[in-house]
DNA sequence: TTTAGCACTCTAAGTATAAGAGTGCTAAAG
DNA sequence: CTTTAGCACTCTTATACTTAGAGTGCTAAA
């Protein structure tokens, strides 16, 4: 791990990684010789590559084939050899442009759009964990009577969430009664995060209010239910079909496993959440990932925040052979953009 | 088209179709002979099959292979030979059970859940067009002031839709002013479908109100915008990975084309909308479909409604080799269920 | 330390062969 | 006239074999 390679080995490792990322074919010594600026014969490079193989940075698929980077090889590349792409891409996809063009308003819209941009810019599958509702704080709660039997509960958080739910009211409420209840709730809940609203707190409120009004049983059950339900978080996916373009997913069986994974939101959530603790951008290569299903993939994540509070996580998932430079720089840009556009709304 | 087959040919055609649906392998005369109850030799059946081939109901992939149903063959099967499955399935998936188990409240939830059930019960991809917002009628509109700069517009339709949107108010509004505006809007809009709210009507309202209040410019722009935007309809997908289990999608290229299609919501919408005119359940086999991309598929659709108003369309999409009996009966059941559970909410 | 040369290994592609499934046709039987 | 047995024929699929090519490792010379 702590080993450092001499400059020539680094140069060769880089050449192999870059080439393999581009072509998905094992890289031979001759190919590296051509790519390597100083005239160095293929034989010399062969020797160096043999060394790199022994050290665990490269492997051969079979005895007489070129070399392919190992997980360790990619790791070294990412940690020591990587220069990030510049943002205006040569192949024409200009992320800064496509992000600023659309003026977006609602959080959900911003997220959906971001997954699309992210997957298009990276040619990988992108996943974004929506803002964590449960970590948001109450801003206010409102109850709108719809007709004599029904009301609309509206919940607004400091991070701009608006949740609503129709509830059935068993008995009719007068305007004043409703007003009383609502302002009491607002007073008690203001500033608390959704996380902090436990069942016991709700029960306490319920008892408190019962003394004054005996009508709201229904409303409370529904409030409680609504909170429970909203604790789960949506994961937004983009460009899932991009994996079909990767030669490592030539196999229908692998495709199936991958797409199945994509349909399991709770699992995706766990995968992303795992990384959301850390700051900045995290690159997890192959088995560095905890989860069995993506042991052959690389997951690159970043977190976006509002007023220094972590809101959610952005991820790109693809084969370990991935254009690290590009993905990282795109993600860096996107996270910045999200930070800005979410805090301004 | 108007041709009718004699009973023996029908029996044989059915045997071929049923067998091919089950095995995905061309069906030979010997296989049919075994399946055919009366002792009839394979040679006889061979002759009959040759006839059926000439009439266009069967084809051979190559000279010395069994037969496969043509589009016409499937059509005849669906129109004349089909007995629907009973609902409690032998393979253990009990749709009536899984539908009644969950008590669902919100429309979106019901739909999402239905796609899952439908795809699981049929092993195909299911698609459901959400209730058509634009065909719903205004029930009421509300404006909730959030703080001094922002308000929340809430729109409720007769079909149970609740849409909301935060708007920025340029100037502060007093409670009474707001109340006036809202009740005016409700009075004017009540009972109109979203479709009927044209830009010109909005302009008229705007002019009307301007005479009394000069503050609401912002609110109106946003109302307008919000309407425009909501005219697009979501299509919900389920079990997209099921196509990977079909041998006809062994080819990665076909998979890609299919999955790409699934990512294009407007196209899916068109595909479904095309069928929503008709009543009951519609089976479109192969090139009976208008759309190039699904010329090799069968699409089975049904419509669900509330108070005799068509709300949306349910579809199952898969290869022409599809268990028609099962899909149709599942769909019939689901549509009934949707009709009931949507009208009761 | 680098490089040229060469034997060696392994894959991928192409060819040949054989087995098997299913047909169509003919002629006999019902 | 219909049904059936028999048989030659066709086409696909699987298996084995061969070959070309890419790339290596090693040795010995520069």
Domain limits, chain B? 7-81, 95-131+233-343, 134-230
- b/e burial code for range B58-95 (CB count within 10 A of at least 16 → b): bbeeeeeebbbbbbbbbbbbbeebbeebeeeeeeebeb
Q: Please list every residue in chain B whose beta carbon sits closer than 8 Å to the beta carbon of residue A165.
A: 106
Residue B50 contacts strand C, CB under 7 A = yes
Q: Is the pLDDT of residue B272 over 80?
A: yes
**What is the reported pLDDT for B127?**
96
B166 lies within 8 A of chain A by CB: yes
The pLDDT tens digits of the residues spanning B327-343 come to: 999 999 999 988 887 77
Question: Mean pLDDT across the stretch B230-259?
Answer: 86
Kindly report the backbone phi and psi dihedral angles of residue A330, in degrees, each rounded to the nearest multiple of 5, phi listed first.
Answer: -60, -45
Nearest C-alpha in A relative to B156: A146
**What is the reported pLDDT for A59?**
97
Distance in Å, residue B5 CA to nucleotide C23 C1':
23
Question: Mean pLDDT across the stretch A321-336?
Answer: 93
Q: What stretches of chain A show up as alpha helix (H) in DSSP?
A: 7-23, 29-35, 42-55, 71-76, 95-101, 107-122, 175-189, 199-212, 217-230, 252-263, 265-273, 324-343
Kindly report the backbone phi and psi dihedral angles of residue B318, in degrees, each rounded to the nearest multiple of 5, phi listed first.
Answer: -165, -175
Nucleotide nearest to A67 (CA to C1'): D23
Range picked from A283-297, B36-50, B134-148, B223-237 for highest mean pLDDT: A283-297
Nucleotides of strand C within 7 Å of the protein's CB atoms? 2-5, 8-11, 20-26
Comparing CB atoms, the residue among A142, A245, A252 nearest residue B250 is: A252
**What is the reported pLDDT for B131?**
76
Full DSSP string of B16-73 = HHHHHHHH-SPBPHHHHHHHSSS---HHHHHHHHHHHHHHTSEE-SSTTS-BEE-HHH
Q: Is the pLDDT of residue B5 over 70?
A: yes
Distance in Å, residue A151 CA to nucleotide C12 C1':
70
Distances (CA, A) of A169 to A256, A288, B7, B139, B246: 47, 52, 62, 18, 49
CA atoms of A119 and B92, how far apart (whole Å): 39
Comparing CB atoms, the residue among B105, B241, B252 nearest residue A244 is: B252
The pLDDT tens digits of the residues spanning A71-129 come to: 999 999 999 999 876 655 555 566 766 666 555 456 777 888 899 999 999 999 999 98
Distance in Å, residue A191 CA to nucleotide D3 C1':
89
Distance from CA of A46 to the nearest CA of B (A): 36
Nearest C-alpha in B relative to A142: B144
Instruction: Name the residue closest to the C1' of C23 by its CA.
Output: B64
Answer whether B256 sits within 8 Å of A263, measured CB to CB. no
Range picked from A161-170, B3-12, B104-113, B136-145 for highest mean pLDDT: B3-12
Please give the residue that has the higher pLDDT: either B75 or B225. B75
Residue A40 contacts strand C, CB under 7 A = yes
| Residues within 8 A of A (CB atoms), B 10-69 only | none
Inter-chain contacts counted by CB atoms under 8 A, chains A and B: 62
Distance from CA of A214 to the nearest CA of B (A): 25
B259 lies within 8 A of chain A by CB: yes
Q: Please list every residue in chain B whose beta carbon sits closer than 8 Å to the beta carbon of residue A156.
A: 146, 152
Q: Please list every residue in chain B whose beta carbon sits closer than 8 Å to the beta carbon of residue A144.
A: 142, 144, 154
Lowest mean pLDDT among A49-58, A178-187, B261-270: A178-187
Please give the residue that has the higher pLDDT: either A19 or A198. A19
Q: Is the pLDDT of residue A239 over 80?
A: yes
| Residues above pLDDT 70, as percent of chain A | 77
**What is the reported pLDDT for A187?**
84
Whether B143 and B177 have beta carbons less than 8 Å apart is answered as no
For the domain spanning B134-230, the CATH number is: 3.30.390.60
A154 lies within 8 A of chain B by CB: yes
CA atoms of B320 and B283, how far apart (whole Å): 10
Comparing CB atoms, the residue among B139, B244, B260 nearest residue A256 is: B244
Comparing CB atoms, the residue among B139, B146, B241 nearest residue A263 is: B241
- Kind and range of the H or E element at B228? helix B217-230
Lowest mean pLDDT among A252-256, A303-307, B56-60: A303-307
**Residue B232: how many CA atoms within 13 Å on its side-chain side?**
11
Q: Does domain A95-132+233-343 have CATH number 3.30.450.40?
A: yes
Answer whether A152 sits within 8 Å of B156, measured CB to CB. yes
pLDDT category of residue B232 using cuts at 50, 70 and 90:
low
Q: Which fold has domain A7-81?
A: Arc Repressor Mutant, subunit A (1.10.10)
Nearest C-alpha in B relative to A163: B164
Distance from CA of A300 to the nearest CA of B (A): 23
Strand D interface, protein residues by Cβ within 7 Å? A 26, 28-31, 42-43, 46, 49-50, 53, 60, 63-67; B 39-41, 43-44, 47, 62-65
Nucleotide nearest to A46 (CA to C1'): D24
The pLDDT tens digits of the residues spanning B191-217 come to: 887 777 776 777 777 777 766 555 555
B277 lies within 8 A of chain A by CB: no
User: Closest Cα partner for A314 from A272, A266, A263?
Assistant: A272
Helix (H, G, I), strand (E, B) or coil at A235: strand
CA atoms of A229 and A153, how far apart (whole Å): 15
Whether B5 and B48 have beta carbons less than 8 Å apart is answered as no
Distance from CA of A12 to the nearest CA of B (A): 34
Nearest C-alpha in A relative to B222: A105
**What is the reported pLDDT for A133?**
67
Distance from CA of B252 to the nearest CA of A (A): 7
Mean model confidence pLDDT for chain A: 82
Answer whether B166 sits within 8 Å of A160, measured CB to CB. yes
A166 lies within 8 A of chain B by CB: yes
- Kind and range of the H or E element at A163? strand A162-168
Answer whether A259 sits within 8 Å of B241, measured CB to CB. yes
Distance in Å, residue A63 CA to nucleotide D11 C1':
39
Distances (CA, A) of A53 to A8, A57, A59, A229, A286: 15, 6, 6, 52, 18
The pLDDT tens digits of the residues spanning A247-267 come to: 998 888 889 899 989 988 889
Four-way CATH pick for B95-131+233-343: 3.30.470.30, 3.30.70.20, 3.30.450.40, 3.50.30.50? 3.30.450.40
**What is the reported pLDDT for A250?**
85
Nucleotide nearest to A29 (CA to C1'): D23
- For chain A, the 3-state helix, strand and coil shares in percent, each to the nearest 5, are 50, 20, 30
| Total count of residues recorded for chain A | 345
CA atoms of B61 and A94, how far apart (whole Å): 48
Residue B67 contacts strand C, CB under 7 A = yes
Helix (H, G, I), strand (E, B) or coil at A333: helix
Nearest C-alpha in A relative to B140: A146
Q: Is the pLDDT of residue B89 over 60?
A: no
Please give the residue that has the higher pLDDT: either A211 or B125. B125
Distance in Å, residue B30 CA to nucleotide D19 C1':
43
């Amino acid at each position: 791990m702590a080993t450092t390679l001499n400059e020539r080995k680094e140069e060769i490792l880089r050449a192999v990684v870059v080439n393999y990322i581009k072509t998905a074919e094992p890289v031979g010594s001759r190919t590296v010789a051509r790519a390597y600026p100083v005239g160095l014969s293929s034989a010399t490079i062969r020797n160096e590559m043999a060394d790199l193989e022994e050290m665990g940075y490269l492997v051969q698929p079979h005895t007489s084939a070129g070399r392919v980077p190992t997980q360790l090889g990619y790791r070294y590349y990412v940690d020591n050899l990587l220069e990030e792409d510049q943002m205006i891409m040569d192949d024409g996809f200009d992320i800064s442009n496509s992000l600023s063009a659309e003026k977006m308003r609602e959080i959900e819209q911003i997220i959906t759009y971001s997954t699309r941009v992210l997957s298009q810019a990276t040619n990988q599958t992108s996943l974004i964990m929506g803002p964590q509702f449960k970590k948001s704080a109450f801003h206010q709660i409102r109850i709108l009577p719809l007709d004599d039997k029904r009301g609309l509960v509206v919940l607004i958080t400091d991070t701009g969430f608006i949740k609503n739910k129709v509830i059935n009211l068993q008995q009719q409420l007068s305007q004043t009664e409703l007003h009383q209840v609502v302002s009491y709730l607002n007073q008690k809940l203001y500033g608390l995060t959704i996380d902090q609203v436990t069942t016991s707190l709700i029960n306490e409120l319920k008892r408190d209010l019962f003394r004054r009004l005996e009508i709201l049983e229904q409303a409370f059950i529904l409030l409680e239910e609504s909170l429970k339900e909203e604790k789960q978080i949506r994961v937004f996916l983009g460009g899932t079909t991009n994996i079909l373009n990767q030669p490592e997913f030539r196999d229908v069986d692998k495709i199936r496993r991958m797409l199945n994974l994509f349909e399991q939101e709770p699992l995706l959530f766990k995968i992303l959440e795992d990384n959301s603790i850390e700051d900045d951008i995290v690159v997890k290569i192959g088995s560095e990932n905890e989860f069995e299903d993506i042991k052959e993939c690389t997951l690159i994540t970043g977190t976006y925040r509002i007023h220094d509070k972590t809101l959610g996580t952005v991820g790109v998932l693809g084969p370990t052979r991935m254009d690290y430079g590009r993905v990282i720089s795109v993600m860096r840009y996107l996270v910045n953009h999200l930070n800005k556009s979410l805090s301004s709304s």
